[in-house]
A = this chain, B = another copy of it.
Amino acid sequence: MGSNKPKAVKIGICGLGTVGSGTVNVLQRNAEVIAARCGREIEIVQVGARRDNPACDTSAYNVSREIFDVATNPEVDILVELIGGTTVARELILAAIENGKHIVTANKALIAEFGTEIFEAAARKGVTVAFEAAVAGGIPVIKALREGLSANQVEWLAGIINGTGNFILTEMWEKGRDFGEVLKEAQALGYAEADPTFDVEGIDAAHKLVILASLAFGIPLSFDKVYTEGISRIETTDIQYAAELGYRIKHLGVARRRNEGIELRVHPTLIPEKRLIANVNGVMNAVLVKGDAVGPTLYYGAGAGAEATASAVIADIVDIARTLEVLPGQRVAPSGFFSDSHCSSGVLPVDDVETAYYLRMSAHDKPGVMSQVASICSDEGISIEALIQHEPGEGEDHVPVVILTSRVQEAKLQSAVRKIEALDSIAGAVTRIRVESLG
């Protein structure tokens, strides 16, 4: 290289929120080391933002209040979409692709819901779309799945991919606090939105899971097929019983390949406390991937935050900068697979999913109840792997009973639960939480 350096890569950044300002700041601070790794300079030729952000200094740049200017700016090689949402962002990206720009985005919802359309448009124009920052913030897990583990058939993956949810469950576990109370704190700390639905009901995690599963298995992005369950019904009492059994409760996105098809599901999960991923606490993220050759590998780090996410955005810019002049076939495919080689497995309906289960019920404290429950389980082919039954408190005639089952098909479990709930000796509903050994 030396004096014969290739020309700078020219980027346009759209959006100056948390991630946008973090990206500008890291590009400024680490310009030298980034250029040394990339082999060329990265030059911000335009910033498109409705308003400035005092968290970063854009006085040296060409700032436009009209973000679509960036998509049509003939100088721009790469459009960096950091505005979020799925309406304007989609139009912006499609317009930029039409104009021959490469795309870097941190937009998980957009990729999960409209990724197929965007990848197809990019393939037609011979540009690439990179979205490392869309899943697990700064952790280079998309690169790991798409490149680092390219020799593997992925068997399954499981991720703590929503920091807000993990913060809430960690606080509930460490301090015995209730969900509602911790949620309020998370909102005060800025970890959770005023409307926390996306985080606590698992929608954000489902967006990310769909992206990971697509890269792992070569299946189409299929957000509408994910089974999604949030953490809002987890009680501290379940966290404590789980601990008594040697488990932690984490909110996981799980994708598993079976002969019949792919399981795609987001739900609270009991994990053996000895597993590394069971010890990922606070707002941190981690993704555990099981490949047939490599075995289990785990990727851990910050799942959000200005500079952590910027780290992933810039890594994508560097990757594209390196391959700016090459043919599309010499780049990594956005979906991880060349399009005529996709896996044909479909996503299984939730009734066909198989997991072990944690069941908690309130049972009348009299002889014979447990044998009735055991007999219902046995009829559905469910083994009881562990059981906790404490003495009733003073003056109480019902006792909590906790059961860990063997792996069972969802439909059979639901059938057994309906029968248990119908017993006179069982009061109220049975609490159900899935269990994964992740072994």
How many of A's residues come within 8 Å of B, CB to CB? Answer: 76
CB-defined contacts of A1 to chain B, threshold 8 Å: 329, 338-340
Task: Decide if A310 is an interface residue (CB 8 Å cutoff).
Answer: yes
CB-defined contacts of A363 to chain B, threshold 8 Å: none
Task: Decide if A248 is an interface residue (CB 8 Å cutoff).
Answer: no
CB-defined contacts of A422 to chain B, threshold 8 Å: none
- Which chain A residues (218-269) contact chain B, with CB distance < 8 Å? 218
In the assembled complex, the CB of A130 is this many whole angstroms from the nearest CB of chain B, namely 12
Task: Decide if A427 is an interface residue (CB 8 Å cutoff).
Answer: no
Take A148-B315, A322-B332 as given contacts and tell me if A294 and B307 are in contact as well, using a CB distance cutoff of 8 Å: yes
CB-defined contacts of A340 to chain B, threshold 8 Å: 1-2
Task: Decide if A429 is an interface residue (CB 8 Å cutoff).
Answer: no
The 8 Å CB contact of A341, one of B36, B149, B279, B341, is B36
Task: Decide if A415 is an interface residue (CB 8 Å cutoff).
Answer: no
Take A295-B301, A299-B299, A338-B39 as given contacts and tell me if A150 and B318 are in contact as well, using a CB distance cutoff of 8 Å: yes
Expressed in whole angstroms, the Cα–Cα distance for A147 and B326 within the complex equals 18
CB-defined contacts of A55 to chain B, threshold 8 Å: none
What are 17 of the A-B contact pairs (CB < 8 Å)? A1-B339, A2-B340, A22-B293, A33-B152, A34-B150, A36-B218, A39-B333, A138-B294, A140-B144, A143-B144, A143-B148, A149-B311, A151-B313, A291-B311, A296-B301, A299-B300, A323-B323
Task: Decide if A302 is an interface residue (CB 8 Å cutoff).
Answer: yes
Expressed in whole angstroms, the Cα–Cα distance for A74 and B336 within the complex equals 31
State whether B294 touches A311 (Cβ < 8 A): yes
Stoichiometry, as copies per complex, reads: 2
Expressed in whole angstroms, the Cα–Cα distance for A293 and B139 within the complex equals 11
- Which chain A residues (268-303) contact chain B, with CB distance < 8 Å? 276, 279-280, 291-302
CB-defined contacts of A336 to chain B, threshold 8 Å: 37
CB-defined contacts of A329 to chain B, threshold 8 Å: 1, 6, 39, 322
Task: Decide if A437 is an interface residue (CB 8 Å cutoff).
Answer: no
Task: Decide if A65 is an interface residue (CB 8 Å cutoff).
Answer: no
Task: Decide if A124 is an interface residue (CB 8 Å cutoff).
Answer: no
Task: Decide if A176 is an interface residue (CB 8 Å cutoff).
Answer: no
State whether A147 touches B319 (Cβ < 8 A): yes
